């Protein structure tokens, strides 16, 4: 069953109810480190609005969704993984590995990444 906004860990971090180091915040999104990283750099770029999946976003979210990609690029530069390469991924649903029911973009790098199949 989907988490409500009140139960969402990302919404709770943003509200200051749960401690978390916010690395970046602007009018559209915020960035935190993944608590279970799969690489030396594993960031989460999270829209301020609570959507579960990208497909739930209305057309007025197009700017925000594009902004997530731009912030991911800037964070990759800041973390020193821009030149060597990094992965950006959005998981949708339980079979994809989505564990938090709030749309978020993973930025992963800092080592050679394997293709998963």
Query: What is the DSSP annotation of 75-94?
Result: HHHHTT-TTT-EEEE---SG
Q: Judge whether 105 and 45 are in contact, CB under 8 Å.
A: yes
Position 2 pLDDT exceeds 70: no
Position 117 pLDDT exceeds 60: no
Q: Of these residues, 28, 42, 102, 104, which one is catalytic?
A: 104
Q: What is the pTM of this model?
A: 0.92
Q: Judge whether 42 and 32 are in contact, CB under 8 Å.
A: no
φ and ψ at residue 85, rounded to 5 degrees: 110, 155
Per-residue pLDDT, averaged over 63-84, amounts to 96
Position 94 pLDDT exceeds 70: yes
Return the H-helix or E-strand segment holding 65.
helix 62-78
- Domains for the chain: give ranges and CATH numbers: 9-103 (3.30.428.10)
Position 1 pLDDT exceeds 60: no
Q: Give 16-62 pLDDT, tens digit per residue.
A: 999 989 999 999 999 999 999 999 999 999 999 998 888 877 888 88
Per-residue pLDDT, averaged over 96-106, amounts to 93
Helix or strand or coil: residue 55?
helix
Position 4 pLDDT exceeds 90: no
Catalytic, 24? Answer no
| Percent of the chain surpassing pLDDT 90 | 73
Q: Which residues pair with 47 in a beta bridge?
A: 29
Q: Judge whether 78 and 60 are in contact, CB under 8 Å.
A: no
């Amino acid at each position: 069953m989907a988490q409500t906004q009140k139960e969402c860990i990302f919404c709770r971090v943003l509200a200051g109810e749960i401690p978390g180091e916010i690395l970046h915040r602007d009018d559209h999104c915020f960035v935190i480190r993944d608590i279970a990283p799969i690489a030396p750099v594993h960031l989460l770029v999270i829209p301020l609005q609570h959507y579960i999946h990208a497909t739930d976003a209305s057309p007025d979210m197009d700017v925000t969704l594009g902004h997530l990609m731009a912030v991911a690029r800037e964070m990759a530069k800041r973390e020193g993984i821009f030149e060597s390469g990094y992965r950006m991924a959005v998981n949708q649903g339980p079979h994809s590995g989505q564990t938090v029911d709030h749309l978020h973009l993973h930025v992963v790098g800092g080592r050679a990444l394997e293709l998963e199949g």
